[in-house]
């Protein structure tokens, strides 16, 4: 069973409390959480030895990575079994032997996305200029805000808001408020709703010079 519900600790904990009662004892539970650790929910599952993280990249049909991350109580046989399962469904299995918030992918990606959003929140530059800078300077096919539209602005808000509450950082509080009032409250959730930081479909994205001129 692979769980992929909102990045909110309370919601996930309540979900696992109920699921653990309903699922057969043999069932292996895997969280697809983007940034939270499996050890945060292991006891709530009622089967910590059969619980771990299995994280897929966005646009999985193109970016077929599967990060498999155990917590200290995960049975090694379960870890190996899930790694084999990932390969069997056509994924590139990427084992992590130690817990790391954000795994490998999001440990690299989230700081980029945070930095881009904070530049916007501080009114340093607009969305397109920030994306253009990243894409031209690094050769990346997508800018951070294009990526955020794919990830979903609700997910981004949940992550930023959790950081704001945990740290009391005023910049993260301001950013969380911006994401909520200017995007989420207006139904601009990303590609899923046809509009986020950009509108979709956007034929300009097919123009190789869109982010260059």
pLDDT one-digit tens code per residue, 137-176: 999 989 999 999 999 999 999 989 989 999 999 999 999 9
67 is catalytic: yes
34 is catalytic: yes
Active-site residue identified among 7, 33, 55, 71: 55
pLDDT digits (tens, 9 = 90+) for 19-31: 999 999 999 999 9
pLDDT digits (tens, 9 = 90+) for 16-74: 999 999 999 999 999 999 889 999 999 999 999 999 999 999 888 999 999 999 999 99
Please give the structure tokens belonging to residue 171: 């910049």
Return the residue matching tokens 């899923």: 192
106 is catalytic: yes
7 is catalytic: no
Q: Which of 61-65, 100-104, 174-178, 208-212 shows the lowest mean pLDDT across its residues?
A: 208-212
Active-site residue identified among 67, 83, 158, 195: 67
Question: For position 7, what pLDDT does the model report?
Answer: 84
Residue ranges and CATH numbers for the domains of the chain are 2-96 (3.40.50.720), 107-206 (1.10.1040.10)
Active-site residue identified among 106, 156, 158, 161: 106
């Amino acid at each position: 069973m692979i769980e992929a519900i909102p990045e909110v600790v309370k919601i996930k904990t309540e979900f696992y409390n109920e699921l653990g009662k309903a699922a057969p004892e043999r069932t292996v539970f895997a969280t697809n959480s983007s940034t939270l650790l499996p050890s945060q929910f292991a006891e709530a599952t009622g089967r910590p030895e059969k619980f771990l993280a299995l994280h897929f990249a966005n646009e999985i049909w193109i970016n077929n990575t599967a990060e498999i991350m155990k917590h200290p109580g995960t049975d090694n046989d379960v870890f190996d079994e899930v790694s084999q399962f990932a390969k069997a469904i056509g994924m590139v299995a990427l084992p992590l032997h130690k817990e790391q918030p954000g795994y490998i992918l999001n440990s690299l990606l989230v700081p980029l996305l945070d930095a881009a959003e904070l530049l916007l929140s501080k009114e340093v530059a607009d969305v397109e200029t920030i994306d253009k800078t990243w894409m031209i300077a690094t050769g990346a096919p997508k800018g951070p805000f294009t990526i955020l539209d794919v990830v979903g602005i609700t997910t981004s808000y949940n992550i930023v808001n959790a950081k704001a509450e945990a740290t009391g950082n005023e910049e993260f509080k301001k950013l969380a408020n911006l994401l909520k009032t200017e995007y989420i409250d207006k139904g601009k959730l990303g590609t899923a709703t046809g509009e986020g930081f950009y509108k979709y479909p956007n034929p300009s994205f097919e123009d190789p010079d869109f982010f260059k001129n």
